[in-house]
Amino acid sequence: MGFSNNSAKVSKNLYIFALIFFAFIFSSFVRLTWVYQMDTSDNDRMRWNGEFMVTTNDSYYWAEGARDLILCDKANTGKGEYYQENCHQEFDLSPVGESLPQLTYLLYKILPFSLETIMFYLPVFGASLVVIPIILIGRGFNLTLAGFIAALIASIGVSYYSRSVVGYYDTDMLNILFPMLLVWSISLALKTKEKKYLLLSGLEIVVYRWWYPQSYSLEFSFFGLVAIYTIYMLIVENRSVQNRKLKISEIFFLKQNVSNYHLLSIMLIGMMGAPFIVRFIGVIALYFIAFRKEFEKFALYILIVSIAAFFITGGINPILDQLNNYIFQRDGTIAAEELHFFSVTQTIVEAQTVTISDIANRVIGSKFLFAIAIGGYGLLCLRQPAMLLMLPLLGLGIMSFKGGLRFAMYATPVIAFGIGFFIFRCAELLQKYIENKKIAFVSAAIFVFAATIYILNPLVENGWNYRTGTVFTQDEVRLIEDFGKNVNREDYVITWWDYGYPIRYYADVKTLVDGGKHSGDVNFAPSFILSHDQKSAANLARLDVEYTENRFLAEKTNQSKSKEDKTQLPSNNIAWIMKEYGFKDSNNFIASLKKDINLPNKTRDIYLYLPFRMIDIYPTIMRFSYLDLMSGKSIRQPFFLVSKGAKDMGNTLNLEQGFFIDKQQALLVAPNKQAYPLRRLVHAEYQQGGSKTSINELRYDGIYTLINLQTYGIFLVVDEAMYNSVYVQLFYLEQYDRDLFELVAANPYGKFFKLKI
C-alpha cells in the first residue's frame, strides 16, 4: 500500500473526516495549553466574572458590539428611541453591525455559556477550522498526506498562532480559513468543472466579505489568476491540433471555457460593491438561472454583464485602498488642512518593516524550514498548477516587509503546504528506490513521522511557552466598571487610544480615540491633554469633545442633503476649531489655551482616565503633540526618564540607561558624564485616602525633578514641562487644580478625574 493511496478498507469520506478531526483536536489542544499554564490562583487577577479576560486590546471593540446586541431590549424605553432601534448610543462607534459581534450574539443565544467564556474560547475553535480546507485541498489533488501534514503545521504556525491563541478575540481567527476555502473551491472548479464548486466559490466570497470587509485585495487577486488562466486556456485551445478547424466563436464556447466564464461571473457578483443580501441573492440566482445548460451559449455575455455590474456598483473602488495605511503612509507626519500631524504607523510595532528572517521566524520558526517550504511549494505548483492560486496568500505574507508582521500569518498555509509536499515527495522517492515494498513502506512511514515531529516540535513548544497576559487586570477592571455605574453613557472619557476599547466595554461611555480611530490628527488632542499643563489640557478637552459631537451631527445631516448642499467641514477638529476661533497659526492657538477662552456650551461630562500602565508608552504619547503643526517638525521632546531598577549605592543612586544621581551635590549625571542640577526631590506614595506627596526643594538653578514613586518602586526624572504635565501632576502627585478637575475614582492602577469646565 503506497502513501498516495488514501485508504484500502475504510471509506474515503470517513478517512478524511478522521484526519480533519485529529488535526482540529491537535490545533485546539495546543492553543488550550495557555489555560493549563495560567490556571493558578496567582493568576486570578486575570479573571473577571469567573472567566479569563481577553488578551488583546482590539478584542474589546468586538466585545462592545456583542455586549450591545445582547443587552438590546426594544421594550426598554428608558434607554431612548435610538438605543431601542440600534442597540447602542448614537455616535458611540459600537460595531453592532459587524460580523464577529453578530456571530458571538448568535452563539450566546444558543450555547449555555457566558459572553466572557465565548469570547475567550472562540479563537481556539475558530482558528482550528483552517484544517478543513487544507485537508480537502490535499484530497482534491490526491495529496491527502501532504494536506494533512500541512494542516497540522499551518494550524499552529507561529504568526497565526499568536493572532488566534485563546483569548485573542478578533476576526483574525477566520482570516486564513476563508482564503483557503476559496483556494479549495476555485481550484476544484477549474479542475473538475463541477457546478457545485462554482456556487461554493461565490458564497464563500460573499461570506468572507461579511466577515472581513478588507478581503477585497485577496478576492481580486484570486479573480485575476482565474482570468489569466482563462485567457491562457483560450490561447491553448486555439492552437491545439484537435481544435484548429474550429472557428474562434466555437473555441470561445467550448465546455471548459464556458465553465471558466461561469466561475469569473459568479466571483464578480460576489465581489460587487453592493449590500450582503444583494450579493448573496445574486450568486444564488446566477447559479440556478444563468448557469443552466440551455444558457451555456450566453456564458460570455453573462460574464460581460457581471463585469458591468461589478464596476457600476463600485466593486473596483476599494480593492487597492485597504492596505494604504500600512504601505503608503510611512512618513513621519500626515498633512491635513495645511496642518501636519504625526503618523501613527511610525509607532506601531506590527506596522514596522521587517526582514526575511523575521518573516521566516514568524511563519514557521526557522529560515531553514522556510527555504525548504518555498522549494516544496514550487515543486507542488509544477505538479499541480492550480496551487498557484495560493500565490496571493504568499505575496501578502511577504508584504510584511512593508505592511508589518501582522501579514506574515497569510503565508502560513502556503509554507505549510510546501513543507507537506516536500515530505510527501521524499516519501514517494523512498518507496520508488527501495525494491522491497514492505521495507519501503516502513521506511517512508518512519521518515514522514520523524520529519513531521521535527517540524511540529518547536511549534508546539512555542505554544506551550506562550505567556501573553490579559489586557487588564482584575483591579483595573473593577475600577473602570465601578466608575461606569456612576456616569452617563453620553459622557466622554479621554485617555490614550490603547485603552479606548476596554474603557468603552467596561464603562459603556464614549472615547475620542481607540484602536481603530487613532490617526495623527485625532491623536493630537489626547496626547496634548495628557502631556501638557492643566489649564491648556482642560480647555482643549472641552473643545475637542464638543467639536467631535458637532462633527457627528453635521455628517449625519449631510447624509440627507444633496452634494451641492452638503456642509464642507475641515478634515480635522484642530483645523475646525482654529477656523472658528480666528487662528491661522496653530502655535498662536495652542498658546491661547493657557488662558481663559470662550468655550462651547457644555453638553456632557468629560473624564480623564490615567492608568499606571501608561508610564511605559508615555514618551511615545508625547510625540503626537510635541511638534509644530504648521511645519510638521518635532519640537524638542520633554525629558522623561523611568527607572524601575534603581540601586542605592550610598552617595549615588544608580538609575537605568547609564544615568545616576549624585546625592551630595543634587546632580543628575548622564552617561556622557554631563551633570545637570536637580531642582527638587518628590516622594509620592498612594494611600487609601489618596496620594501622599512631599516635596523637597534642592537647587534654585535646577532643571530636573527626581520623583520617588514609593508605591511602585520606581524613580522618575523629569524636566519642568513633564513635571507640570497632566499625567505626572494628576496621577502620581494628585496636585491638581480644584477649579479644573475633580478626582472621582482611584486605585493604585488607575485614576478618573472629572473635568469641571
**Worst-scoring range by mean pLDDT, 93-107, 227-241, 274-288?**
227-241
What value does the mean pLDDT take over residues 254-275?
89
pLDDT class for 565, splitting at 50, 70, 90? confident
Of the pLDDT bands very low, low, confident and very high (cuts 50, 70, 90), residue 85 is low
What number of CA atoms fall less than 13 Å from residue 432's CA on the CB side? Answer: 7
Q: How far apart are CA 127 and CA 166, in angstroms?
A: 10
Output the pLDDT for position 253: 62
Asked whether the domain spanning 639-724 has the same topology as the one spanning 474-612, the reply is: no
pLDDT the model gives residue 155 = 96
Q: Rounded to an integer, what distance in angstroms lies between the CA atom of residue 512 and that of residue 516? A: 11
Average pLDDT over residues 591-597: 94
Domain definitions of the chain by residue range: 12-230+259-315, 474-612, 639-724
Question: What average pLDDT does the segment 454-466 reach?
Answer: 94
Which has more confidence, 300 or 239?
A: 300
Cα 720–chain centre separation: 37
Asked whether the predicted pLDDT for residue 659 surpasses 90, the reply is: yes
The predicted model gives 729-755 an average pLDDT of 96
Q: Is a pLDDT exceeding 70 seen at residue 403? A: no
Helix axes 99-110, 115-128, angle to 10 degrees: 110
DSSP secondary structure, 623-641, as one string: HTTSB-TTT-PBPPPPPEE
For residue 366, the 8-state DSSP code is -
Highest mean pLDDT among 314-318, 397-401, 511-515, 628-632: 511-515
Selected residue with higher pLDDT from 358 and 492: 492
| CA 25 – CA 125 distance, rounded (Å) | 9
Q: Which residue has the cell 518547536?
A: 458
Backbone angles phi, psi at 634, to 5 degrees: -70, 140
Instruction: Judge whether residue 10 has pLDDT over 60.
Output: no
What pLDDT, on a 0 to 100 scale, did the predictor assign at position 642? 95
User: Residue 240 — pLDDT band, cuts 50, 70, 90?
Assistant: low
* pLDDT, averaged across the chain: 89
Looking at the DSSP bridge assignments, the partners of residue 746 are 751
pLDDT of residue 686: 87
Strand partners for 642: 716
pLDDT on residue 242:
55
Helix and strand totals (H; E) in the chain? 31, 18
Measured distance CA(582)–CA(594) in Å, rounded: 17
Between 714 and 348, where is the model more confident?
714
- Tell me the three cell numbers of residue 733: 502627585
- By CB neighbour count within 10 A (0-12 exposed, 13-18 middle, 19+ buried), where does 481 fall? middle
Whether 320 shows a pLDDT value over 70: the answer reads: no
With beta carbons less than 8 A apart as the criterion, state whether 554 and 645 touch. no
CB atoms within 10 A of CB 564: 5
Pairing of strands 714-719, 741-747: unpaired
Q: Are 427 and 444 in contact (CB under 8 A)?
A: yes
* Residue 496, all three cell numbers: 490614550
Asked if residue 253 lies in contact with residue 296, where contact means CB atoms within 8 angstroms, the answer is yes
Nearest residue to 487 (alpha-carbon basis) of 609, 610, 600: 609
**Strand pairing class (667-669; 660-662):** antiparallel
In angstroms, the Cα distances linking 573 to 82, 204, 501, 522, 578 are 26, 40, 21, 8, 8
Give residue-wise pLDDT tens across range 25-59. 999 999 999 999 998 888 899 999 999 999 999 99
Which grid cell sits at 316?
473596483
Listing from the earlier edge strand, what are the strands of the sheet with 492-494? 510-511, 492-494, 606-611, 750-755, 741-747
What's the pLDDT band for 81 if we cut at 50, 70, 90? low
- pLDDT tier at 323 (50, 70, 90 boundaries)? very low
Average pLDDT of span 415-419: 96
What's the rounded Cα separation, in Å, for the pair 168 and 181?
Answer: 22
pLDDT higher than threshold 90 for residue 83: no
In this model, does residue 722 exceed pLDDT 90? yes
Task: Give the phi and the psi of residue 642 in degrees, each rounded to 5.
Answer: -110, 130
Q: What is the structure's pLDDT at 206? A: 97
Beta bridge partners of 511: 493
| Residues constituting the chain | 757
Alpha-carbon distance 98 to 115, whole Å?
17
Q: How far lies 737's CA from each of 85, 228, 512, 644, 729, in Å? A: 42, 68, 23, 29, 10
Query: Which of 404, 412, 372, 381 lies closest to 225 in space, CA to CA?
Result: 381
- pLDDT of the residue at 456: 96
Q: Which helix (H) or strand (E) holds 292?
A: none
Q: Tell which wins on pLDDT, 683 or 71.
A: 683
Are the CB atoms for 443 and 430 separated by under 8 Å?
yes
pLDDT the model gives residue 8: 45
Q: What is the 3-state secondary structure (H, E, C) of 559-626?
A: CCCCCCCCCCCCCCHHHHHHHHHCCCCHHHHHHHCCCCCCCCCCCCCEEEEEEHHHHHCHHHHHHCCC
CATH entry, 474-612, from 3.40.190.10, 3.90.180.10, 2.40.50.100, 3.40.1380.40: 3.40.1380.40
Question: How many Å apart are CA 180 and CA 184, to the nearest integer?
Answer: 6
CA dist., res. 628 & res. 619, Å (int): 17
CA 267 to CA 261: how far, in whole Å? 10
Reported as a single tens digit per residue, the pLDDT across 139-196 is 999 999 999 999 999 999 999 999 999 999 999 999 999 999 999 999 999 999 999 9
Cα-Cα-Cα-Cα torsion 64, 70, 75, 79, nearest 10 degrees, comes to -20
| pLDDT > 90? residue 352 | no
pLDDT band per the 50, 70, 90 thresholds, residue 527: very high
Is the model's pLDDT at 326 over the cut of 50? no
- Tell me if 608 sits within 8 A of 538, measured CB to CB: no
* Cell numbers representing residue 656 in the block: 537605568
Distance (Å, whole) CA 370 – CA 361: 8
Q: What is the pTM of this model?
A: 0.89
For domain 639-724, give the CATH number. 2.40.128
Q: What is the mean pLDDT of residues 267-292?
A: 93
pLDDT surpassing 90 at residue 241: no
What is the C-alpha separation between 409 and 434, in angstroms, rounded?
38
C-alpha radius of gyration, the chain, whole number = 30
Neighbours of 249 (CB within 10 A): 8
Gap between the Cα atoms of 267 and 295, Å rounded: 18
Q: Determine the pLDDT at residue 351.
A: 47
Instruction: Decide if 223 contacts 316 (C-beta within 8 A).
Output: no
